[in-house]
Amino acid sequence: MILVTAANGRTGRSMIAALANQGLPVRAFIRAVEQWPQLQALGASEYALGDLGAADSVAAALDGVQRLVFIGPPMHPEEVTFVDHFLAAARTSGLEHFIYYSVMHPLRREVRHHRLKLDAEEHIVEAGLPYTIVQPMRYMQHLEMIWQAVTSKGVHAMPFNVNVKFNVADLADLTEATARVAMSSEYLYGTYELAGPEALSQTDMARIIGEVIDQPVRAEQVPIDTLRARGQAAGLSADRIEQMSIMNQHYDAHGFLGNPAVLEMILGRPATRFKDYVQRLAAG
C-alpha cells in the first residue's frame, strides 16, 4: 500500500492517477470524507482521514503502508513540522520507502517554500529511513488557470517579465516519474531534478499558444500589486499572498531553468513539450 498526502490537491490527484496507472494500491490522505468519491474514481483504493498537523492521525494513516509519497500543501509555513510528523511515525510503522515531493532548486532560500523544502530534505536524509527525493519544476498546468483569458482576450499574462525563461514541465510527466520511483528500489537514496525539455519565456509560450489556437496571443506581465489584489479577492491568507509575491519577484529576477535529462531517464521517453501540452489542453 502507498499513502499519498495532500491527495485532494492538483498534484495529489495527478499522483493518485499515475500510481493507479502503474497498478499500485493507493491510500489517499484527506481531511474530509466528501473528497473520497472523486479520488476513488481516479484509482485510489482507500482513504485515511486526518490532518498533517495532527501526529496521531498521521500515525494511523501510515498503519499498513509500505511506501509514502509526501506532498505538502502549497507554500505552507509548517512544511517541516508536517514532514517531521511522518518521519516520527515512519520509524515505528515499518515504512519501506519515504518519497518526498520537493521543489527544484530548494537552495533558493530567498523563497520561503523552497527554503522549507530544503530544510525538510535535510531532516529526511538524516532520519535513517529509506528515502527518495524528487524535485519538480514549475508546471505547464499554470496555463490552465488563465486559459479562458488567453483564448478570449489573446493575452498570456503572468506575474514576471515576459522574457525570463522557465523549463516548465507537464504535471502528468512529473507524477508518472514519481510513480516509477515509488515502484522500484533502484532510486533509493537519490535526489532527482525533474525539469521540462525547453527553456521558454512568456513570449515563447504566447507564440506557441497562438500557433495551436490559430489566433494572435501576446505576453504581458501582471504587476505584483495586481497579483496581491487578486489573491485578496480570492480569499487567500495574507501569508500566502506575501509568499506568492516573493516567489514571483524572485522568478522575475532569476528565471527557473533546469535540465530534462533525469526526468526523461526515469520516464524512459522524451518529456512532453509545451506545444504538445497546449494541444492537449485545447482539445479539452
Q: Note the pLDDT tens digit of each residue in 158-189.
A: 999 999 999 999 999 999 999 999 999 999 99
How much is the pLDDT for 186?
95
- Give me the chain's average pLDDT, please: 95
Residue 96: pLDDT band (50, 70, 90) is very high
Residue 246: pLDDT band (50, 70, 90) is very high
Given a cut of 90, whether residue 126 has pLDDT beyond it is yes
How much is the pLDDT for 93?
92
Tell me the three state secondary structure of residue 161.
coil
C-alpha to C-alpha distance for 264 and 13, rounded to whole angstroms: 22
Looking from the CA of 52 toward its CB, the CA atoms found within 13 Å total 21
Given a cut of 90, whether residue 29 has pLDDT beyond it is yes
Of 244, 146, 259, 156, the closest CA to residue 201 belongs to 156
Given a cut of 90, whether residue 81 has pLDDT beyond it is yes
How much is the pLDDT for 69?
98
Given a cut of 90, whether residue 227 has pLDDT beyond it is no
Stretch 143-148: mean pLDDT, rounded? 94
Specify whether the CB–CB gap between 246 and 231 falls below 8 A.
no
pTM above 0.85, yes or no: yes
Given a cut of 90, whether residue 230 has pLDDT beyond it is no
How much is the pLDDT for 98?
98
Stretch 83-102: mean pLDDT, rounded? 96
Stretch 17-30: mean pLDDT, rounded? 96
Q: Which residues 6+ apart lie within 8 Å of 284 measured at CB?
A: none
Residue 135: pLDDT band (50, 70, 90) is very high
C-alpha to C-alpha distance for 155 and 148, rounded to whole angstroms: 10
Q: Which residues 6+ apart lie within 8 Å of 189 measured at CB?
A: 130, 131, 132
Given a cut of 90, whether residue 8 has pLDDT beyond it is yes
Residue 82: pLDDT band (50, 70, 90) is very high
Residue 51: pLDDT band (50, 70, 90) is very high
Specify whether the CB–CB gap between 198 and 152 falls below 8 A.
no
Stretch 244-253: mean pLDDT, rounded? 92
Stretch 21-30: mean pLDDT, rounded? 95
